[in-house]
Every structure is written in C-alpha cells, then in structure tokens.
A and B are shown apart, each in its own frame.
Chain A
Amino acid sequence: MPDYYQQLNADIRFKEGLRACINCGTCSAICPAGAFYNYDPKKIATIVQNRNEEALINLLKSDTIWYCGECMSCKTRCPRGNTPGLIIMALRQLSIESGLFVESEKGRQILALKRTIGSNILNYGYCVHVETVSPEMHPEQGPIWKWIRKHAEKVYNRLGGNYNKLGAGALRKISDEDLAELDSIFHITGAHSRFDKIESFSKKKASEMGYDTKQEAMDPYFLMVYRHDSGTHFKNKA
C-alpha cells in the first residue's frame, strides 16, 4: 500500500503550506468556500497535521478537497504563515495521481477541466478561447456573448485583435512552432502523463457507473461530470 503521507510531504506546496497550525480558525472565517460549501479549511490542516494515513485516504477520496476556490485568502490572514490553499493543491495532485479523484462527485470533474482548459492550451496556446466558450455550456454569458461570437472576427479586429491570424495581437493564431514548444514542455514535465491518467481513471470509473465507454469521447460521462450536482454539498440547504 502506498505511503500517501510520504508522497504528500514530497510536494513543495505541502511543505510551504503547512508549518504549524494552531487551529485558530482564522482561515475558516475568511474562506469564501467555507461560506458556501460544507467546508472548513481548519479541519483539512488538522487531518494532514495528524498524519493519520486512513483519514488522509478518506480525504483524497472525498468531495471536501475540491471545494476550495484557490483564492488564497487564507494565506494573507493565517497568523502562523500556513496556507490551507496550498495544502489543498498538494492533496488534489495526490488524489489525481493516485486515481482516488474518481471516488467523489467533485473529484470526477477533473475530466471536464482537462478536456476544456487542457485542450484549449494545446490547440490555441491559451486556457480560454472564444470558439470553445459555447452559449450552451455558458448560458450565464448572456445575449451579448452570442452577438460577439456571431461577429467574432469583426468585433475582435475593431478592438486590437488579430483574429486567428499569425502575428501580434489579441486572439491571434499561435504558430505551429510555438504550439509545438508548449506540447514538448507538457511532454517533458509530466502534464501529458497526468492527462493520460485522468482519461484512463475516468474511463474505468465511467464503465463502473454503467456509462458507455466505447464512444471515443465518452460524451455522456463528460456531460454528467460537467453538469451534475447532487445538491449535497451546500452549507445552507434549501
């Protein structure tokens, strides 16, 4: 059985994030996630500080570690220089690398993030691109976004854009040579390997949950993790 605590301790963000928590609860008071979800960053610090392997495994399998918004408000206020947000980042990495992320509803969402943000970086050179922010997946964008997308080239080019063309400017096309450098960095530094793990653990879980995994893109499973909320996560239940 892997020693999860040892793996956690090897992460520089864990070392920087946890010095000596005195359980004062300042982070819990300032945390935006704590105001919305059943979430308390102080409890996270307590569990990892206690070095209880079983409690750590339960945490890695839980929804709890996915509630944080990584705003880092906790960093500013902690009187002991801890950063629960950094501890969370280390826990999430361990949950993904070990495959335990698929055991929770919020953890399974990693597939959606890999397929949207991850794909955008490799295809467009940026995390976000107008062409992939569809009104169907982003109804909150309102009618203005439909207008912008309909007239994208003209709108962006009026506003300093160089839409889908090589050369400087907003929304320019990133050259194949530059995209190849990004791809090579992703290969050498382990991002591609992490993407492969996310896909393979997700596929296995989709199969366990009865989804058809023969389709290459596993679309029904992707849409489920992207859209489904069980309603069990909130601090103030309706």
Chain B
Amino acid sequence: MILEGKKRVWNEYQKEIADDKYFYARSCIRQNFFPGAEKTFLQIMRNELGKEVYDDPKHTTCTGIAYHTDIIPLETIMTVVARQFSLMSESGYENYVPSCITSFGIYTEILELWEHNPELEEKARDFLYKSTKREFKKPKNLAHASDVIFKFRNEIAQKAKHRLVNCNTGEPLRVIEHIGCHYARMFPHKGVGGAEYPYVLAGLAESFGGEVVDYPERRTCCGFGFRQYLVQANRGYSVACSKRKFESMAPFNPDVIITNCPGCPYFLDRWQYVISEMEGKIYGQNGHGIPVLTFEELAGLMMGYNPWDIGLQMHQISIEPLLDKIGIEYNMHNKYCDAEGNFMGKPEIPELVKFY
C-alpha cells in the first residue's frame, strides 16, 4: 500500500484519548517481566507531562489470561472487570488506562457486550453486589497506556535527549513495530489506525526519528496463544510463530523491535535466546540478537533515563548494541546493582548469543 493510502486509513481510525486524570491498571505479565516499563510510564506521565495517574493498591488482575485459557466463565471475568470499574469510580476517576493489551481487549469486549446486551451488564452488577456489596460506573474513556503515550508523543519527543538515529551515520534506525493481537483485531475502531495498519507504535517511532520497517509477517502474532505457551507441551507453537516473524524481518536488518503488549516483548526476547540455543541461529547483527523494547522503555530511553533504572537489565537479549548506535552512555557495573548501588553479581552468560 502506498503511504498516502495508509495515512488515509489511519485517519479513519482515530480514537478519543482522555487528556488527564487516569486510573491505571497494572499488567500480570508486565509487572513481572518489565516492571521498569510501568515505573517509566508513571514517571513520564506524572513528572514530564504533569498528568494525574492513580495507581490503586486495591486493583488486581482482570483475569484475562484465565479467561483466554478457558478456565473461568464469562460471568467471572465480567464481574472482576466490574470490580475494577468500581475501584475507579470509588477513587473519583473516569478514564481507565490498562497496562496490558489482553486487558484492553477484555475491557473493550465487555463494554461492547454490555452495550448490545444490557441484561449481561445487569447480571454483572448483580454478581458484583452479591459478592462484594460494590457498585460501579463505566469508564467515560478507555485507552491503552500506549494510546496515551501516542497522544503525547510530540510533547515527549520535544523533551527527549535522544533520537532513534545512528549517532555515527546520522541515518534513522530501522524499527520493527509489533502490535499485540488484542489491541485492535477484535474491535478495529478502538485502536489508533485500526487493525490492518495500526499507527500507535509507528507514530511513536516516527516522532523520535526512526524509520518503520514493513515486512511480510508484520501482523503475525508473537505466538503467546495463552495455553500454547503456558502449558510446556505446547510451547513449540509459540516459538514457531516468533521464528516465522524473525525469519521474515531479519533480511531488513532491524535495529530494534518495539511493542505495546506486555507478552510480545517477553516472547520476542526469550524466543531469540531459545532459537540460538536450539539451532545456533542468531537474528541480530554481530552475534547479538535484535533488541526488543516496550513502548514505555523506548520513551524512557529517549528521555535520557538511565537504562538500568527503567529495567533493561531484565532482558535476555542485550540492549547495549542499540544504546551504542543511539549514543547513549551507560555504566556496566551499575547494570547489576540494586537501588542503593550495591553490586548483586552477574547472571550466567548464554552459550551462543552475545551477552554483556
């Protein structure tokens, strides 16, 4: 598709994203594997943009992974979602921002379901009251955290200390953007740019000066597949999907993969390590893998935050080649230190993929 056509499609899929006062819901996967990304989102929103974001200790999982592994009924997830909305209403907020893409899909689906089937909303209200004595209001605005960062991308880019540009050549870095399946596949009109040509990450990468790479398997799933990863016997499905993407993107020599779903960066990071161990194949340049970033980590790096304060030491695929290209200075000793600067020791080095 020619660029002009893409821009026309993107214009048709714009969504309303609230301007301030957000109720933030953490992600099961992101807080375990990329906790620094959630910290960075809050830091950018509060300290750089001066926005109000509430991080309520009382909220929990939305149970989306349980729902998509089929172990709980629809009624259960609807009621847990109703409880999350109740916490939002109780604390005086109307704009709901989940960290997780599966959650964003769940909230979108349930709100649509309630709109078309009011008896299901009544059922959820009844279950919630019976089980917790709680009541709730539905959010006025629902946006994924990547939508919010997209909304303020130009303000963030203006404050940024770095750009997605090779500091030695002046050329833009080549960016693979990977969108989580449940961002817009089910409800394309709820995602910036729709499902076929989503712009939420492409727009962010462009605002930092990066060049977005188009490649054949661009819209293929990372391979989470819920039960297809969570049960050990099924993990071949998951790694095979990711491999299909790596094989397709590798000829374009990408410098970095960016993601908006918490699961995708985890799989695109870990499966590169696994493929190197299983097949001796390494997809990145010079024996390193292709670095993978969450959208919050990307924004934090561009803002000049210390890479080890935003959690890039939790990646199995080393991030240093990307830092070197951008010209970001880093302290290797500090990488494996705690918050007080005490050295904790280094992880083991993988057999094949280069690691710092």
Q: Which residues of A contact B (CB under 8 A)?
A: 12-13, 32-33, 35-37, 66, 68-73, 75-76, 83, 89, 92-93, 96, 106, 109-110, 112-114, 116-118, 121, 125-130, 133, 137, 140-148, 151, 154-161, 166-172, 174-175, 178, 181-182, 184-191, 194-195, 198, 225-229, 234
Contact = CB atoms under 8 A, between A and B. Distances in A.
Contact of B32 (A128, A188, A195, A228): A128
Given A121-B60, A171-B31, 6 more contacts: A33-B228, A69-B227, A71-B225, A121-B63, A126-B61, A127-B66
Contacts of A129: 32
Interface in B19-77: 26, 28-29, 31-32, 35-36, 38-39, 42, 55-58, 60-61, 63-66, 68-76
B181 interface: yes
A190 B79 CA distance: 11
Given A144-B316, A148-B314, A36 B237 contact: yes
B329 interface: no
17 contacts: A12-B120, A37-B237, A69-B227, A72-B186, A76-B184, A83-B186, A110-B71, A118-B71, A142-B273, A142-B274, A143-B349, A147-B344, A161-B35, A169-B55, A175-B58, A182-B83, A190-B76
B271 A140 contact: yes
Interface stretch (B127-135, B146-154, B207-215): B127-135
A66 B120 CA distance: 27
Contacts of B195: 76
A125 B60 contact: yes
A168 B28 CA distance: 14
Interface in B334-356: 336-339, 342, 344-350
A48 B316 CA distance: 44
B15 interface: no
A110 B71 CA distance: 7
A109 B237 CA distance: 15
Consensus secondary structure, chain A interface: helix
Interface stretch (B1-9, B216-224, B246-254, B280-288): B216-224
B29 A118 contact: no
B80 A93 contact: no
Contacts of B185: 71-73, 75-76
A154 B230 contact: no
Given A125-B61, A182-B60, A195-B71, A118 B132 contact: no
A185 B350 contact: no
Given A127-B65, A171-B31, A184-B132, A93 B70 contact: yes
